[in-house]
């Protein structure tokens, strides 16, 4: 009986020790070992030796499978993601409703005075140009002239319907549009600067209270804008190779000891299972060896 137990114990010990050594040889040694000029085999360990290839493979896996454009779109469309966005937007609005700071103070704190002024002026210029162009495209002078000609036609019954329209449009309408084209940019720019300045200088809580009735629509608009922006930006960003580049860069920057600690932490249970599986198989082999010896 003692021989049987000893055989099983030795088999289990050898199996456990062999697998433990094999696991350690995946990670250690961290650098090549030499006897004179001859490098010992299996040094460094497999993982330190193949660190760059592992980084490349992991980066490709993350980019092509876990963070593919399709996977990101599906994740963003999921109800759970939409709920997270909605909660974030709601929290943002709630924080704004409690804040006594002005947008200017927050932006200056985040960007600095010089960059804040630059971005404010850029936004004013962009918005002013857009509104001025929209007004010019609308041909407000022509529209006003057509409306005026219809009123004149109604008061002069003996003229055919629309008889004055061409005259009004080609004279008064075009004159108004020409004057508007010349004066609108400056007028719109001044108006936009005033409105932006007023908004940036008003405490957020006051602005929120003033627009209380519009808040539900603003929340929906902000949520839609956030979702649309992420749907448009994230897949393109993640398919640009940035995820792979960052992954490779980060893993290659790790010291072998740090990579060892990280991987062992991730696979702690699995590595322990391999070691104990070696003990089990070794014990079974010891039992079989004992029984075979008895039979022979």
Instruction: Report CA 270 to chain centroid distance, whole Å.
Output: 32
Is the distance from CB of 215 to CB of 96 less than 8 angstroms?
A: no
Structure confidence at residue 175 as a pLDDT band (50, 70, 90): low
pLDDT at 174: 62
pLDDT at 290: 72
pLDDT value for 163: 46
Check whether 51 has a pLDDT greater than 50: yes
Compare 142 and 58 and report the one with higher pLDDT: 58
| Both tokens assigned to 104 | 């200017």
- Residues listed for the chain: 296
* Contact of 47 with 54, CB cutoff 8 Å: yes
pLDDT bin (cut points 50, 70, 90) of residue 172 is: low
Is the pLDDT at 128 greater than 60? The verdict is: yes
Calculate the average pLDDT of the chain: 76
Look at residue 200 and tell me whether its pLDDT is greater than 80: yes
End-to-end CA distance of the chain: 17
Q: Are 251 and 51 in contact (CB under 8 A)?
A: yes
Q: Cβ contacts of residue 12 below 8 Å, gap of 6+?
A: 279, 280, 282, 283, 286
Contact 7, 289 (CB under 8 A): yes
pLDDT band per the 50, 70, 90 thresholds, residue 188:
confident
Ranked by mean pLDDT, the top range of 14-23, 117-126, 269-278 is: 117-126
pLDDT at 229: 75
User: ∠ at Cα 45 (44, 50), nearest 5°?
Assistant: 90
Burial 122-157 (b: 16+ CB within 10 A, else e): eebeebbeebbeebeeebebbebbbebbeeebeeee
148, pLDDT greater than 70: no
Q: Would you call 247 helix, strand, or coil by DSSP?
A: helix
Lowest model confidence (mean pLDDT) among 3-12, 39-48, 57-66, 179-188: 179-188
Q: Given this model, what pLDDT does residue 159 score? A: 46
Which pLDDT belongs to residue 158? Answer: 46
152 vs 72 pLDDT, higher one: 72
What is the spatial distance between Cα 41 and Cα 244, in angstroms, rounded to a whole number?
Answer: 31
Enter the DSSP assignment of 202. Answer: S
Q: Is the pLDDT of residue 247 over 70?
A: yes
What are the pLDDT digits (tens) for 82-113?
888 888 888 888 888 888 888 888 888 888 88
Residue 184 has pLDDT above 70, yes or no: no
Tell whether the model's pLDDT for residue 134 goes beyond 60. yes
Q: Of the given ranges (98-107, 110-119, 215-224, 237-246), which has the lowest mean pLDDT?
A: 237-246
């Amino acid at each position: 009986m003692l021989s049987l137990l000893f055989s099983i114990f030795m088999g289990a010990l050898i199996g456990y020790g062999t697998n433990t050594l094999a696991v350690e040889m995946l990670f250690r040694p961290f650098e090549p070992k030499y006897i004179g000029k001859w490098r010992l085999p299996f040094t460094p360990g497999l993982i330190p030796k193949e660190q760059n290839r592992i980084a490349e493979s992991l980066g490709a896996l993350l980019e092509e499978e876990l963070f593919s454009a399709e996977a990101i779109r599906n994740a963003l469309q999921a109800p759970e993601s939409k709920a997270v966005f909605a909660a974030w937007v709601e929290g943002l609005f709630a924080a704004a409703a409690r804040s006594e700071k002005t947008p200017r103070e927050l932006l200056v704190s985040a960007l600095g005075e010089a960059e804040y002024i630059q971005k404010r002026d850029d936004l004013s210029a962009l918005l002013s140009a857009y509104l001025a162009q929209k007004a010019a495209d609308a041909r407000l002078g022509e529209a006003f002239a057509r409306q005026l000609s219809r009123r004149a036609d109604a008061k002069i019954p003996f003229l055919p319907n629309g008889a004055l329209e061409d005259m009004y449009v080609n004279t008064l309408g075009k004159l108004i549009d020409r004057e508007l084209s010349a004066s609108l940019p400056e007028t719109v720019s001044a108006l936009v600067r005033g409105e932006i300045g007023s908004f940036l200088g008003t405490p957020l809580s006051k602005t929120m209270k003033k627009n209380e009735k519009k808040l539900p629509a603003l929340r929906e608009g902000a949520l839609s804008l956030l979702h649309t922006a992420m749907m448009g930006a994230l897949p393109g960003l993640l398919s640009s190779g940035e995820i792979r580049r960052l992954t490779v860069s980060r893993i290659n920057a790790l010291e072998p000891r740090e990579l060892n600690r990280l991987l062992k932490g991730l696979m702690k249970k699995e590595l322990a299972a391999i070691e104990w599986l070696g003990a089990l198989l070794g014990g079974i082999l010891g039992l079989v060896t004992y029984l075979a010896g008895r039979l022979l």
